[in-house]
Amino acid sequence: MTPENPRFRVRPLPRPDGVHGDRRKRRSASAALAIELALTSAAFRGGLEAVLVVDDDGLLVARSRCPIDLSMLAAVTPIVGRGQAVPRIKREGRPLDLSVEPIELGGERFYVAALGGGYSDRRRELAGSIAATQRILA
């Protein structure tokens, strides 16, 4: 005798806003604006000073919206990402930590960097920024 096992069906849980759509609040068809929005959101969520994407030559590819001039930071990001330097960054007299991860896109090397915030927040938002960069720029 085999017991009958009827299919068990579960309905999706209702969302508070009643919408089953995309979690992102702002979207863009432009890759440049889309990555800027993604990096800005990551910086905001993590309480970071900035999140940036830099090419292997140290040129700024994309960045979060922030009042900081990131051109000098972009120039040293590949050096830090290669492990050839330890960053010592200060803003208004307080030290800031920098986390950098290399990524490959279309056969080229880029670096995604997160400046400021706590270690776990910086690492979490760096991982999310890498995923967004790969999704948007690939």
Give the pLDDT confidence score for residue 98 in this predicted structure: 95
Mean pLDDT, rounded, of the chain: 86
CATH 3.60.21.10 fits 31-137, yes or no: no
Q: Which residues of the chain have pLDDT under 50?
A: 20, 22
pTM: 0.78
Backbone phi and psi for residue 63, each to the nearest 5 degrees, phi listed first: -155, 160
Q: What is the pLDDT of residues 40-60, one digit of tens each?
A: 999 999 999 999 999 999 999
Domain chopping of the chain, boundaries: 31-137
